[in-house]
Structure 1
Amino acid sequence: MNDSRPQSAAAPSPFPPIADYAFLSNCHTGALIAPDGGIGWLCLPSFDSPSVFGTLLDREAGYFRFGPFGINHPTARVYEPGSNVLSTTWKTPSGWIQVRDALTMGPREFEDQVTPHTRPPADDDADHLLVRTVRCLEGTVEIDLVCEPIFDYGRTPAEWTLVDESRHAADATGAGQTIRLQTDLALGVEGNRARARHVLSADEECYCALSWAEGLAAPADVTEATRRVDATTRFWRAWLGRARMPDHRWRDPIQRSALAIKGLTYMPTGATVAALTTSLPETPGGERNWDYRYTWMRDATFTLQALHYLNLDWEADEFMQFVADLEPTETGALQIMYGIDGRRDLTESTRDDLSGYAGARPVRIGNGAFDQRQNDVFGAVLDSILLHTQRSQRLPRRLWPIVQTQAQCASEVWREPDQGIWEARGKPQHYVSSKLMGWVALDRASRLAEIRGDSDLAGTWRATADDIKADILAHGVDDRGVLRQHYETDALDASTLLAAIFGFLPPTDERLRASVLAIADELTEHGFVLRYRTDETDDGLSGKEGTFLICSFWLVSALSIIGEQQRAHDLMERLLRIASPLGLFAEEFDVDTGRHLGNFPQAFSHLALIEAAARIIAAERIGELT
């Protein structure tokens, strides 16, 4: 008898829970490591390259494990404090070991030919190495190395060649790519995989390294491997040391969020990917699976808010230079998303040969929403430029043309329907959040024109902003005085929380208060916020979805803004308690099972965490003065 009930997010599965993966980064690409020590996701050489290890999406799409033989559940997994370096401690029947994993970073010694820079290279850069070291703490432990890369998203098995007679290096080739596995263990090749086994005794160490660097350079011994991992820890700590961190009980989650956001930044161009992964399901076993390895313009303003709040002005400037370099569409507008190298074409395809995470199909490469009309993009770009201008106290000459074109585009399209902030694949509508961001666009453009000394343009744009506000208040508010999802419905939408965050209405306005409280009371499951109710919204897809973590963090901010400090604080505490074991957040949270859903780790969730924490901390500090 078939079970027709929806698949549970906690259904027994060979796929580890999404939140149980550890995230590594070298600011060019990232890796996810499962609790058993297997690399579940790694794309080479950059975030949006085809995967080489992809068991996250298919259990036969590439595997790389370095750990104790026959033991799959570690005793402890932690990040080395202040870093994106993972330390895993294992107990076996005969002893204890510690494994350290890092996508290594070090002093820049020469021009990067693997992923060339368009931004000025920093003092430290990626080594283009995944380095893994093991140290035996007590007793004896049998170490097992299994490396089975499958190139091009699991399509092309590796062909292995031993590099030398000592069996300490082997090259894997496939799909026009070659990577090198180097180790101090003796390697053997078994079909499409390389393997090694060795018994470590107390205080002994060994290592392996995967290289895609120029010339396939790799550590020659465990001393050099350890040195590179140590240098990576120092890099992250030095970077974090430049950030302003509040001395507050939420300091650690803010730090982890900052490290995640930096880890999702593509250093060669300054772009930030929305998430490391593609096609992790929003609905267990369903079709709501998207490729998030690109840069969304709507993330721009939240990225700038977070970076400037943390005093990370260099990263903020790098991101703004990336935006300034982007090629607009034929109308002069910026697309809603771009590739991390600035490319415009993100044509979507599916990989039907992959099973998908826990059977969630299709697996998508590319994102078909890249050419959608989403009128909120102008507000996000212009708000970020205003934030950056106020911080740096100057409006760079190369940004002014963007201000003009985006303000002009917003002026021309704000009356037209679009797909909305959530990229609904149903009929275009007059979404309130899109109108709201149109108001943000013209309001910020007017203020930027004042900074530049152009009073005529400032007045023109201010008048348009006033028209948009009047239109929203005439058509976008229901009989209860609550902001609607779009003009043809009374359904709620969490995106209207942006009215509070962007200052559309003053905190004392009853319509703003009613809207925030309606979402808190009516658009939540166990206190966590839904984007919208899928049975009330034509988004072109089937299936339910989990609560959106960014929306819950937006609600924290909005509650704080309208003076509901206790409710804001309570929700913030609940959100922080559902972080992954390593302090990371995916896109969504399934309240029935306590499982994370969607792509992981999600930059938007961490950006919203920082913004929400900043709001509450600021309110607490002000309260200390009154």
Structure 2
Amino acid sequence: MRQSPFPPIAEYAFLSDCEASCLIAPSGQVEWMCLPRHDSPSVFAAMLDRGAGSFQVAPYGVREPTSRRYLPGSLILETTWQAPTGWMIVRDALVMGPWHHLEKRAARYRRPPSDYEAGHCLLRTIRCVNGSVDLSVLCEPVFDYGRRRTDWQYVGAGYREATTASPGDGPAPVLRLTTDRNIGLEGPSAVIRTRLVEGDQAFVALSWATLPPPRTWDEAAQQQWYTTEYWRQWITVGEFHDHPWREELQRSALTLKGLTYAPTGALMAAATTSLPESPGGTRNWDYRYAWIRDSTFALWGLYTLGLDREANDFFSFIREVAAQDELQLMYGIGGERDLPEHTLDELEGYDGARPVRVGNSAALQRQHDMWGAMLDSVYLHVKSRDQLPEALWPILRRQVEQAATHWREPDNGIWEVRGAPQHFTSSKLMCWVAMDRGARLARLHDQPEQAEHWQRIANEIREDILTNGVDERGVFVQRYGATTLDASLLLVPLFRFLPADDPRVRATVLAIADDLTYNGLVLRYRVEDTDDGLPGTEGSFTICSFWLVSALVEIGEVERAKALCERVLSYASPLGLYAEEIDPISGRHLGNFPQAFTHLALINALMHVIRAEESGGGVRFAPAHPL
């Protein structure tokens, strides 16, 4: 069997400062990092091509660490290494801190998380804790997705600071490497070789902004301390139950926070592009954008955990983009509408999976679920405040009317199929959500005639779905005129389309649980039964398994839901993260990583089960929707 040079997707660690992010392999090598934003061109892309740039800190000649973990309540990675002659510990962080108060550390560090800002610095601290260790550092950026290699230059009089920059035009930042050890420069590579003995400490910092990077160990320790304090203060704001799943909820919340873009409040779907949905396959997409669809699931999860600030920031982003003339199903994290898709044919792709894509042409698709997601987001936000801001009314009215105009038309559906448009049942469902939530909001806004009009259309859509979207078994089907199952129909009870005790709801949930699973994990649909316009296969979509947990709770199957929840949780990465998919045979993670949608569904599923247990197993107690 061929030994792949690429680590399994699940073995990567994820770091973020809420503006940029990176993925670190078990080897201590940063293999994915885009600067200055999450969605900028990469400076390290060894994850997609072994020659496309990396940044390694490890003992010389040692390939695998002894252990890796996140410091509790943080996005700081701690890696323990055993070398032949000793032990060392490396801590990696994308720095956060109250930089305008650095000189008053002792008196002023306990500041609200809102007063912290990204340090634009990847900080790597090293301590030798036993014996001696030969430290090896190799920093070799290759700008613009591996296409632009450039040399380092020393800065100042010594050999402890160097800079490099992309040779071409564009927004690529100047990179600055600072350390308390001497740097050797070998063209495009910055190298450090030094021996540490017990008690020795060292740091390496890669920065890309005007904020001063650390130049001494004390400054490095101070910045890492600020970062730890930021994350631990932030996590204490949330409302996490005293439950065995508390750690999973906190890790998902931290991951979601890391997937946000602080300047706008956007939540991107994942930190990566083109990680394949099947080994060596072609279903490789760029997920570094914000989907309107994610909005309602994000607000469910964030409000449920008491993370109101993040929910409000994301809602503000959704409101801003929705104020434009026509709603688009996804946007750049800065609100950009134009996301042209192209391939990077010079990159080999993760473990040979090609093509590597940048941009996402699905942004131009017609997906009718986006109006329902938008309106449901508004409704969730308004319910949390018991008021509808006047400025929102024309925005939501325009979206409701769009749903009213287009609900009878075929579309590409929630899964963004690239085949012919179809009359997908879940798309009709979300158009019903748009009309239903619009009517509720109109009543709140003292617009009874408008509410009555929209409610009539909602009732018309409901009757159409019940007539054409349910087969003779009483099961909701993927598309009109078919008998194909689709995991998106698990949303029927979660969006309160029908009561959870309706026989059609129960039949649908159990049919998916019994017939659309493989080795206990839920498929989004069976590829052989769906013309999605793409070759190849895919794994189970983890979000669908968590949806099934929530839906099972809704129909009163709490023990079955808990068992499934435990099963899906057992597939988490060693650091508690999830990619988009899981191979139900091998347990291998597939697709982009870490994936926000999966962690959002995890939060809602776990809270369904927790609240079911607290209420004694009754139905309609869980936070699926505050109707």
Q: TM-score if structure 1 supplies the norm length? A: 0.95
Q: Residue deviations 1:480-511, cap 9 Å, x none?
A: 11111001311111001110111111111111
In 2, Cα distance between equivalents of 1:531 and 1:52: 34
How many residues are aligned here?
A: 605
Name which of 273, 278, 283 aligns with 1:278: 273
Name 1:113's counterpart in structure 2: none
Name 1:53's counterpart in structure 2: 44
Assess if the C-alpha contact under 8 Å between 1:172 and 1:179 holds in 2: yes
In 1, Cα distance between equivalents of 2:290 and 2:452: 32
Q: Label 1:139 to 1:354 Cα distance change in 2 as closer, same or farther (>3 A).
A: same
Assess if the C-alpha contact under 8 Å between 2:322 and 2:395 holds in 1: no
Q: Label 1:501 to 1:327 Cα distance change in 2 as closer, same or farther (>3 A).
A: closer
Q: Residue deviations 1:191-241, cap 9 Å, x none?
A: 2111011000001100000010126x3101111111111111110010000
Q: Residue deviations 1:146-175, cap 9 Å, x none?
A: 000000000001221111231000101113
Q: Residue deviations 1:348-376, cap 9 Å, x none?
A: 01000000000000000000100100000
Secondary structure of the corresponding residue to residue 152 of structure 2: strand
Matched, 1:38 2:26: no
Name 1:21's counterpart in structure 2: 12
Name which of 305, 308, 329 aligns with 2:303: 308
In 2, Cα distance between equivalents of 1:623 and 1:385: 31
Name 1:62's counterpart in structure 2: 53
Secondary structure of the corresponding residue to residue 309 of structure 2: helix
Name which of 190, 198, 205 aligns with 2:201: 205
In 1, Cα distance between equivalents of 2:395 and 2:479: 28
Q: Label 1:150 to 1:429 Cα distance change in 2 as closer, same or farther (>3 A).
A: same
Assess if the C-alpha contact under 8 Å between 1:104 and 1:228 holds in 2: yes
Assess if the C-alpha contact under 8 Å between 1:43 and 1:52 holds in 2: yes
In 1, Cα distance between equivalents of 2:140 and 2:390: 50
Aligned-pair distance for 1:12? 2.8
Aligned-pair distance for 1:397? 2.1
Q: Which amino acid aligns with 1:162?
A: Y
Listed as ranges, the matches of 1:175-190 within 5 Å are 175-176=168-169, 177-190=173-186
In 2, Cα distance between equivalents of 1:369 and 1:74: 40
In 2, Cα distance between equivalents of 1:214 and 1:533: 51
Secondary structure of the corresponding residue to residue 286 of structure 1: coil
In 1, Cα distance between equivalents of 2:327 and 2:3: 44
Q: Which amino acid aligns with 1:445?
A: G
Q: Which amino acid aligns with 1:202?
A: E
Name which of 356, 361, 378 aligns with 1:368: 361
Name which of 240, 248, 262 aligns with 2:235: 240
Deviates more, 1:614-623 or 1:263-272: 614-623
Secondary structure of the corresponding residue to residue 540 of structure 1: coil
Q: Residue deviations 1:542-585, cap 9 Å, x none?
A: 11100000000000000000111111000000011110000000
Name 2:480's counterpart in structure 1: 487
In 2, Cα distance between equivalents of 1:428 and 1:440: 21
Name 2:217's counterpart in structure 1: 222
Listed as ranges, the matches of 1:526-545 within 5 Å are 526-545=519-538
Deviates more, 1:444-453 or 1:98-107: 444-453
Name 1:431's counterpart in structure 2: 424
Aligned-pair distance for 1:327? 5.5
Assess if the C-alpha contact under 8 Å between 2:113 and 2:233 holds in 1: no
Name which of 571, 594, 615 aligns with 1:622: 615
Assess if the C-alpha contact under 8 Å between 2:323 and 2:395 holds in 1: no
In 1, Cα distance between equivalents of 2:611 and 2:390: 33
Listed as ranges, the matches of 1:427-576 within 5 Å are 427-576=420-569
In 2, Cα distance between equivalents of 1:258 and 1:324: 22
In 2, Cα distance between equivalents of 1:439 and 1:298: 15
In 1, Cα distance between equivalents of 2:521 and 2:617: 29
Matched, 1:153 2:148: no
Listed as ranges, the matches of 1:344-423 within 5 Å are 344-423=337-416
In 2, Cα distance between equivalents of 1:223 and 1:18: 35
In 1, Cα distance between equivalents of 2:286 and 2:526: 23
Q: Which amino acid aligns with 1:267?
A: A
In 1, Cα distance between equivalents of 2:151 and 2:84: 35
Secondary structure of the corresponding residue to residue 214 of structure 1: coil
Aligned-pair distance for 1:122? 2.9
Q: Which amino acid aligns with 1:549?
A: T
Q: Which amino acid aligns with 1:402?
A: I
Matched, 1:192 2:188: yes
Assess if the C-alpha contact under 8 Å between 1:257 and 1:584 holds in 2: yes
Assess if the C-alpha contact under 8 Å between 1:356 and 1:363 holds in 2: yes
Name 2:90's counterpart in structure 1: 99
Q: Label 1:97 to 1:295 Cα distance change in 2 as closer, same or farther (>3 A).
A: same
Assess if the C-alpha contact under 8 Å between 1:327 and 1:342 holds in 2: no
In 1, Cα distance between equivalents of 2:129 and 2:394: 60
Q: Which amino acid aligns with 1:438?
A: C
Matched, 1:299 2:290: no
Secondary structure of the corresponding residue to residue 232 of structure 1: helix
Aligned-pair distance for 1:624? 8.0
Q: Residue deviations 1:327-355, cap 9 Å, x none?
A: 666xx441000000101000101000000
Assess if the C-alpha contact under 8 Å between 1:328 and 1:335 holds in 2: no
Secondary structure of the corresponding residue to residue 443 of structure 1: helix
Aligned-pair distance for 1:66? 1.1
Name 1:6's counterpart in structure 2: none
Name 1:114's counterpart in structure 2: none
In 2, Cα distance between equivalents of 1:11 and 1:388: 51
Assess if the C-alpha contact under 8 Å between 1:19 and 1:585 holds in 2: yes
Assess if the C-alpha contact under 8 Å between 2:301 and 2:604 holds in 1: yes
In 1, Cα distance between equivalents of 2:502 and 2:113: 48
Q: Which amino acid aligns with 1:325?
A: E
Q: TM-score if structure 2 supplies the norm length? A: 0.95
Q: Which amino acid aligns with 1:95?
A: G
Assess if the C-alpha contact under 8 Å between 2:556 and 2:617 holds in 1: no
Q: Which amino acid aligns with 2:6?
A: F
Assess if the C-alpha contact under 8 Å between 2:345 and 2:355 holds in 1: yes
Secondary structure of the corresponding residue to residue 231 of structure 2: helix
Q: Label 1:612 to 1:449 Cα distance change in 2 as closer, same or farther (>3 A).
A: same
Q: Label 1:533 to 1:624 Cα distance change in 2 as closer, same or farther (>3 A).
A: closer
Assess if the C-alpha contact under 8 Å between 2:284 and 2:357 holds in 1: yes
Q: Which amino acid aligns with 1:308?
A: Y
Assess if the C-alpha contact under 8 Å between 1:324 and 1:398 holds in 2: no
Aligned-pair distance for 1:92? 0.8
Assess if the C-alpha contact under 8 Å between 1:148 and 1:158 holds in 2: no
Q: Which amino acid aligns with 2:277?
A: E
Which consecutive residues of structure 1, in runs of 5 or more, have no partner in the other structure? 1-9, 111-119
Name which of 311, 320, 324 aligns with 2:315: 320
Secondary structure of the corresponding residue to residue 72 of structure 2: coil
In 1, Cα distance between equivalents of 2:37 and 2:618: 48
In 2, Cα distance between equivalents of 1:573 and 1:412: 43
Name 2:622's counterpart in structure 1: none
Matched, 1:75 2:59: no
Secondary structure of the corresponding residue to residue 136 of structure 1: strand
